[in-house]
Amino acid sequence: MAQDNFSQVTEFILLGLSDTRELQLLFFTLFLLAYSMVLLGNLLIIVTVTTDPKLSSPMYFLLCNLSFIDICYTSVTVPRVLVALLSGHKAITFEGCMAQLFFLHFVGSSEMFLLTVMAFDRYMAICRPLHYTAIMARGACWALLAACWVGGFIHSIVQTVLMLQLPFCGPNLIHSYFCDVPPVIRLACADTALTEWLMASNSGLISLGCFLVLVASYVLILAKVRARLSQGHWKALSTCASHVMVVTLLFLPCIFTYLRPAGALPTNKYVCVMYTIFSPMMNPVIYTLRSSEVKESMWRLWKR
């Protein structure tokens, strides 16, 4: 059948995490609490880093941008989820669904690239301290940050264009609480095998590639400092440990979700909670509790 004979779906229904009203109220409370922590925690980090001249190193510059990305990332999905849980209105327009998909992958992949840059920053600071200042100058940091956003945009536009090429003519029930590639592509009225492999190669390989680069950087750091664990190196390893926690919470669920064709296995919508809500919520907690400089700066800010 030709694609022109399909009647285009104008809206989708997001089924959410549960149909039970009691569970919906529970999820609303948990999501609202998590979103509030994301906003307050990351805004506090941004204000602290931007107002304290002592936190001008590349690590804190990148941390400030990570906090900004986390706010954007959770704001793509969580506010709409909260409205749907409270009001019961689960419909989303086709255009709104595609826009949500685009911005989710745009900001999400930019965060993956930024975490990779942060791992490179830690590697240079620990393993190449004499060259660190020259390599991680402020101009280089801005260039790396711009590369993260450009890479995220290219990835996202490819995903969105592939989705817009598909016809959607009948089913419109999305078994998730937000629009993403795996649940939406299953509703297409066409053979999506090739598109699924292309998208898995795009999203999945980006997630796996960044994860492997991160793991490799931390292995090199451990190999470098294992023989000279002075107090300064223990502090560096503590910082790396917090990065590993963030990486694990973000990358492993993404690899599980995207590194396979969408029709291979059903997507676990509860796994999606890990990288859309839980990981951004943990970032400010991990970084502030593991960094004495940030905590001291926050205390000075509070006294002012």
Question: Helix, strand or coil for residue 14?
Answer: strand
Q: 11-294 is classed in which CATH architecture?
A: Up-down Bundle (1.20)
pLDDT classification of 3: cutoffs 50, 70, 90 = very low
| Residue 173 host element (H or E) | strand 173-174
pLDDT of 258 reads 84
pLDDT confidence bin for 215, thresholds 50/70/90? confident
If you average pLDDT over residues 60-80, what whole number do you get?
A: 92
Per-state percent for the chain, helix, strand, coil, to nearest 5 = 75, 5, 20
Supply the pLDDT for residue 231.
52
Alpha carbon 9 to its chain centroid, in Å, reads 29
Domain boundaries, the chain: 11-294
| pLDDT level of residue 1 (50, 70, 90 thresholds) | very low
At 293, the amino acid letter reads E
The whole-chain average pLDDT of the chain stands at 83
Distance CA 98, CA 93 (A): 9
Determine whether 165 is exposed, middle or buried from the number of CB atoms within 10 Å of its CB (0-12, 13-18, 19+).
exposed
Q: Name 93's bridge partners.
A: 11
* Mean pLDDT on 258-262: 73
Question: In the prediction, which pLDDT does 194 show?
Answer: 82
pLDDT at 282: 81
Q: How far apart are the first and last CA of the chain?
A: 69
